[in-house]
A and B are shown apart, each in its own frame.
Chain A
Amino acid sequence: EDKVVQSPLSLVVHEGDTVTLNCSYEVTNFRSLLWYKQEKKAPTFLFMLTSSGIEKKSGRLSSILDKKELSSILNITATQTGDSAIYLCAVVGGSYDKVIFGPGTSLSVIP
């Protein structure tokens, strides 16, 4: 059965810390991996990764995919309280053309 696993499930850090969120997957017919940030409402898109070893970067956030290890990491440097959110990893693929979500990592950044 296709699945996406994230770790840790929750994390509390202080402002200025660097965090690394992990996502691993077992999905047939892998096409791409997606990262989303969810605050109070709908998830908002962060990155889409399709190729191993190529880092995607947006400000203090960056992400990289390792297809050999079937995993991805999301790094956030110099964290701010505004980074507090649930970070969702999702994989496009599976037995039918669907997007499979992990349970999310709940990040809390305290001043």
Chain B
Amino acid sequence: NAGVTQTPKFQVLKTGQSMTLQCAQDMNHNSMYWYRQDPGMGLRLIYYSASEGTTDKGEVPNGYNVSRLNKREFSLRLESAAPSQTSVYFCASRTGGDGGYTFGSGTRLTVV
């Protein structure tokens, strides 16, 4: 019963490099989300996917792209990393409606 699995757990990138953060859930949830968490700013929504085949921008989408590959997987891509994207990234999923989130364990990304 893995829940939400994120990879990698840690990553260091140079400015301008690209990478993809992977997220998979095994709870048959419809909705999946990517957040970033910075000190004093709480969790800010980057992108979300309300169902397979759909994606929408959240509060801070600039510099990111996402893919909802199937119901289980939702990836986040940084095409050209910038130091401002240094953060902790959380993937989450939920059933929808009033249901709360289940979070992945997070990815700590540093861009130098």
Contact = CB atoms under 8 A, between A and B. Distances in A.
A98 B42 contact: no
Interface string B93-112: 01011111111111000000
Contacts of B44: 101
Contacts of A43: 43, 90, 101, 103
Contacts of B103: 42-44
A interface bracket (residues with beta carbon within 8 Å of B)? 20 to 34
Interface in B53-102: 56, 58, 90, 94, 96-102
Contacts of B40: 9, 103
B96 A97 contact: yes
Contacts, number: 60
A65 interface: no
Given A42-B106, A88-B42, A101-B42, A48 B100 contact: yes
Contacts of A98: 33, 45, 48, 58
Contacts of B99: 92
A3 to B, nearest CB: 10
7 contacts: A34-B101, A41-B106, A44-B103, A88-B43, A90-B43, A92-B98, A98-B33
Given A48-B100, A99-B100, 10 more contacts: A31-B98, A42-B90, A43-B101, A45-B101, A48-B98, A88-B42, A97-B50, A98-B58, A99-B45, A102-B42
Interface of A: 9, 31-32, 34, 36, 41-45, 48, 50, 88, 90, 92, 96-104
